[in-house]
Structure 1
Amino acid sequence: MVRPSWSRVPALSAGVLLATALTGCALLGDAGNATTSGQQGSATPTPTGNLVTLMQRLGGDGPVRTLDVEPTGRWQCRDCAGDGVDATGALNPEQTSRLQRMLADPALARETDQARRYRQLCIGVLTSTLLIPPGLTVTIQDCPGEPAPPVAYEVLLLLTQATPADDKG
């Protein structure tokens, strides 16, 4: 479950959405290359799987929490708790395996913003965006009455429960 301190957060503004999209494109370009080179047997082995990035916004002008999780389970969080502090760590092997299974689930492609024709409906709620290669974006708002896409929501829960996600703002 998403921690209570993140339960009600204003939606992203248009400027933040643009910055998020541009950041996501840059991240996805790097992630796609790492995954592809590993699958083609490059000299530097990269585990097969998907890099996933989670971006969360607390408040209309609050900080953006960014979490990158590699296929190995290693993660790096920037501004983890909204206090400017970065952290690193690793998921345990079971969490890593579970995450990669969810990211490989074909149902996830039906949960993308494009497939759902997603548009932000709420103001004042937590907005979480998952960026998954190759160019998939899934946005989830903690919006009353809005159903969460099931596979993406499970990914969100795993990531928020296994990494620092407390708001100190």
Structure 2
Amino acid sequence: MAPTQWFRVLTVCAGAVVLAVTLTACSVFAGDETSTRDPKGTGAGGSSGANRVSLVQKLGQDGPLRSLDVEPDGRWKCDDCAGDGVTSTGTLKPEQVQRLHGLLADPRLAQETDQVRQYRATCIDALTSSLLTTVGLITSQDCPGEERPPVAYEILLLLTQATPAEPTA
């Protein structure tokens, strides 16, 4: 009977992370369309939306929820980055922006989405990281033996190393 209870706990935790990512996505990807267009309104800059990315991390069931949004130009905003309730902002270095854009454009990223991998959370009290990109949601956990999607993991490393501290317990 215990395995069924743990499965329900995992399902609820995974659902909470997915909900948080979805809500963040609404604010990041449903912004004003005119902001991605050139001044003449031709939509020439519309592809820049492909370079937006959000990261939501949660450590275990009771840990803080870290939410990071990165704009195509490298500006970022992070809510509760260090688990201290503080909102931080900054800008990625030009070489980091270029690297991020290259990773987001990598065609392998589309094969790493939760839907394609049929991803299911398997660990309890692990750090769960969910990246939201234009190709979809990509979730991973810091669990022994869990295979990390390679392109998404590179994005995760880039974002966590270029912004304030990881969530703390």
TM-score range, shorter chain: 0.7 to 0.9
Query: Does the 8 Å contact 2:160/2:166 carry over to 1?
Result: no
Is 1:108 aligned to residue 105 of structure 2? Answer: no
Task: Please give the alpha-carbon distance, in whole angstroms, between the structure 2 residues aligned to 1:92 and 1:25.
Answer: 24
Query: Does the 8 Å contact 1:31/1:50 carry over to 2?
Result: no
Query: Does the 8 Å contact 1:47/1:72 carry over to 2?
Result: no
Using the TM superposition, give the Cα deviation of residue 152 of structure 1 relative to its aligned residue in structure 2, in angstroms: 0.1
SS where residue 82 of structure 1 aligns? coil
- Residues 83-94 of structure 1 correspond to what in structure 2 (within 5 A)? 83-94=84-95
- Residue in structure 2 matched with residue 155 of structure 1 by the alignment: 155
Is 1:42 aligned to residue 41 of structure 2? Answer: yes
Query: Does the 8 Å contact 1:31/1:133 carry over to 2?
Result: no
Query: Which amino acid in 2 is paired with 1:51?
Result: R
Query: Which amino acid in 1 is paired with 2:41?
Result: S
Task: Please give the alpha-carbon distance, in whole angstroms, between the structure 1 residues aligned to 2:131 and 2:121.
Answer: 15
How many residue pairs get matched? Answer: 158
**TM-score, scaled relative to structure 1:** 0.81
- Residue in structure 1 matched with residue 19 of structure 2 by the alignment: 19
**Structure 2 gap segments, 5+ residues each:** 1-8
Task: Please give the alpha-carbon distance, in whole angstroms, between the structure 2 residues aligned to 1:78 and 1:34.
Answer: 25
Higher helix share: 2
CA-atom RMSD in angstroms: 2.9
- Residue in structure 1 matched with residue 57 of structure 2 by the alignment: 56
Using the TM superposition, give the Cα deviation of residue 41 of structure 1 relative to its aligned residue in structure 2, in angstroms: 6.0
- Residues 66-81 of structure 1 correspond to what in structure 2 (within 5 A)? 66-81=67-82
SS where residue 73 of structure 2 aligns? coil
Task: Please give the alpha-carbon distance, in whole angstroms, between the structure 1 residues aligned to 2:103 and 2:31.
Answer: 17
**Structure 1 gap segments, 5+ residues each:** 1-9
Task: Please give the alpha-carbon distance, in whole angstroms, between the structure 1 residues aligned to 2:139 and 2:34.
Answer: 24
Q: Which has the higher contact order (CA 8 A, sep 6+)?
A: 1
Query: Does the 8 Å contact 2:52/2:72 carry over to 1?
Result: yes
Q: Percent identity?
A: 50
Using the TM superposition, give the Cα deviation of residue 82 of structure 1 relative to its aligned residue in structure 2, in angstroms: 0.6
- Residue in structure 1 matched with residue 164 of structure 2 by the alignment: 164
